[in-house]
Amino acid sequence: MLERKSELLAYSSDGLPGYTKVPNLAVFPGTRDEVIAVVRELARENVPFVPRGAGTGLSGGALADGVVLLCLNRLRRILRVDSVNQLAVVEPGVVNTVLTREVSAYGLHYAPDPSSQAACTIGGNVAENAGGPHCLKYGVTLNHVVAVNAVLPDGTVTTFGNDSGENAGYDLVGTFVGSEGCFGVALDVTVKLQRNPQAVRTLLADFMSIDAAARAVSAIIARGILPAALEMMDAPTIRAVEASIYAAGYPADAEAVLLIELDGFEAGLDDDVATVVTLCTDAGARSVRVARDEAERGRLWQGRKKAFGAMGRVSPHLVVQDAVVPRTKLPAILEEIHGIATRHRVRVCNVFHAGDGNLHPNIPYDAYDPDESSRVHIAMREIMQACIAAGGSITGEHGVGMDKLAYMDQLFTPDTLSAMCQLRDVFDPLRRANPGKVVPIHSCREWGGVVRHA
């Protein structure tokens, strides 16, 4: 348990820059029973709390403003691996890549692979319904969780779902996944494990315009080929990566590259590769190269996964944005984003899951420069509004947290937001779990100021 302000400062932010919220207390239970005991004590005293995994979230979901921070990262045991049925039962603090490493001996892996996977926890992934590059083919966290054992904010311990992944009754597992810590605290999670593909081909296509790359993405999706991953990086990202220790050998003068992975059954895979190469070339690719071995493949991926880190060289702070548009709208939205960036004199680095239409327009900036900060915020708002206008969403995998609260009533009607408040109230009538996040309080039709802060 941490109480001293100086110690608590270490827990005053997550992956979202520009916000500092100091909790009153940080608690680090080491066992499932301790988590339950803490939650029950908090319920008895009517104290609000914020669950936290590794604190890598990018929407400010783990920020705790004067409340209790409940840190789950000590619960890191893998309780059971059932390689026959391809299931694992894990505690919430298990790190994403640790699970994959532990089951690799069986030829299995855990499919959702957010860029923070070397640090982020399964509990956090469940809270945010985390995605990642390979979710294009294999699905997001929701599609991989079959059961959750949880303690509700009032201290009740309950199980949602079961090993078979078949439910009679309401889909409470699906409802719990992505609830951003507002519905309770996962004590253990049963996830599906994916068989490692028999064959993998990783391609790098380089383009002299973003538009050409975006059109290649649309062409691949429209053709019906489902790559395991289909990622885009633009020129500022490529240069940042190539200047860093994560240099991946991307062509430094390209305006955009696509990192495309096809995997699965060996037979016929190269025919799909050939089709993708043709589609890229037709869209104007200067070259398409296929990684020759595992080392080259690893290097191409490292550049992508560490792109955010590489941007750290560019400036002290980085907004990692997250939005979604229909995939046919990619060329138009990228052009619009470019226009917004130019207008507000900010640098946008696009590195994103193009195959899903899941954009990550990132802006490196100096948060201590008030003028630049204000221009960054205006540009971000305009980008979000452009994505909403294009029929998209304000977040594809990072969650609403604090960061996207202001956009919720632009995306959803008052009746829809009210229905979300009602859902929260079923799990947490006193709204003590992660208070003030996800749905703006003023949207709650029946809100009567029930939250009492201790």
Partner 1 sequence: MLSAPAIAERLREASAARQRLRIVGAGTWLDAGRPVDAVQTLSLSEHHGIVEYVPGDLTLTARAGTRLSDITAATAANGQWLPLAPWGGDDGTLGATVSTATAGPHAAALGQPRDVVLGLEFVTGDGHVVRAGGRVVKNVAGFDLTRLLVGSWGTLGVITEVSVRLRALPEQTRTVGVAVDTSHATLNELAGTLRALPFVPLAAELLDTTASVQLGIGDRALLLVKLGGNEKSVKGQLEALSVLGDRKDVEPSVWETLRSMEPAAAAVWRWSRLPSVFGETWNAADRATRQLKGGALMHGNPARGVVRVLAATNAGVSAAELTRAAIELQAIGRGTVAIERLPRDAWPLLEPTIAQDALSRALRDKYDPARVLNTGILGGDT
Q: For the segment 400-429, give every residue that binds partner 1 (CB under 8 A).
A: 400, 404, 408, 411-413, 415-420, 422-427
Q: Given candidates 121, 149, 244, 393, which one binds partner 1 under the rule CB under 8 A?
A: 393
Decide: 273 and 211 in contact? Cβ < 8 Å: no
Q: Which is nearer to partner 1, 25 or 146 (CB)?
A: 146
Query: Is residue 356 involved in binding partner 1 (CB under 8 A)?
Result: yes
Q: Which of 111, 182, 210, 376 binds partner 1 (CB under 8 A)?
A: 182
DSSP 345: T
Asked if 190 interacts with partner 1 (CB under 8 A), we say no
* Residue with tokens 């799909």, as numbered in its chain: 272
Rounded Cα distance, 409 and 400, in Å: 12
Which of 142, 147, 213, 288 touches partner 1 by CB under 8 A? 142
Cα–Cα distance, 148 to 176 (Å, whole number): 8
* 3-class DSSP state of 146: strand
Residues 110-139 contacting partner 1, CB under 8 A:
128-129, 131, 135, 139
Residues 6 or more apart in contact with residue 319 via CB below 8 angstroms: 17, 18, 362, 363, 365, 376, 380
Count, residues near partner 1 per rule CB under 8 A: 87
Angstrom distance (rounded) from CA 382 to CA 384: 5
Nearer to partner 1, 301 or 407 (CB): 407
Minimum distance, C-beta of residue 246 to partner 1, in the bound complex (Å): 25
Which residue from 120, 144, 140 is spatially nearest to 129, judged by alpha carbons?
A: 140
Residues in region 424-453 near partner 1 by CB under 8 A: 424-427, 438-439
Instruction: Name 51's bridge partners.
Output: 70
How far CA 66 is from CA of 289, 335, 338, 438, in Å, comes to: 52, 42, 39, 18
Q: Tell me if 293 contacts partner 1 by CB under 8 A.
A: no
The one segment of 14-22, 31-39, 250-258, 259-267 that binds partner 1 by CB under 8 A: 259-267
Q: Is 179 in the site for partner 1 (CB under 8 A)?
A: yes
- Interacting residue with partner 1 among 31, 164, 342, 374 (CB under 8 A): 164
If you write DSSP's letter for every residue of 13-35 in order, what string do you get? Answer: --SSTT-----SEEE---SHHHH
Q: How far is the CB of 140 from partner 1 (least distance, A)?
A: 7
Return the amino acid letter for 398: H
**Residue 20 phi, psi (nearest 5):** -130, 115
Q: How far is the CB of 271 from partner 1 (least distance, A)?
A: 5
**350 near partner 1, rule: CB under 8 A:** no
Nearer to partner 1 (CB atom), residue 245 or residue 426: 426
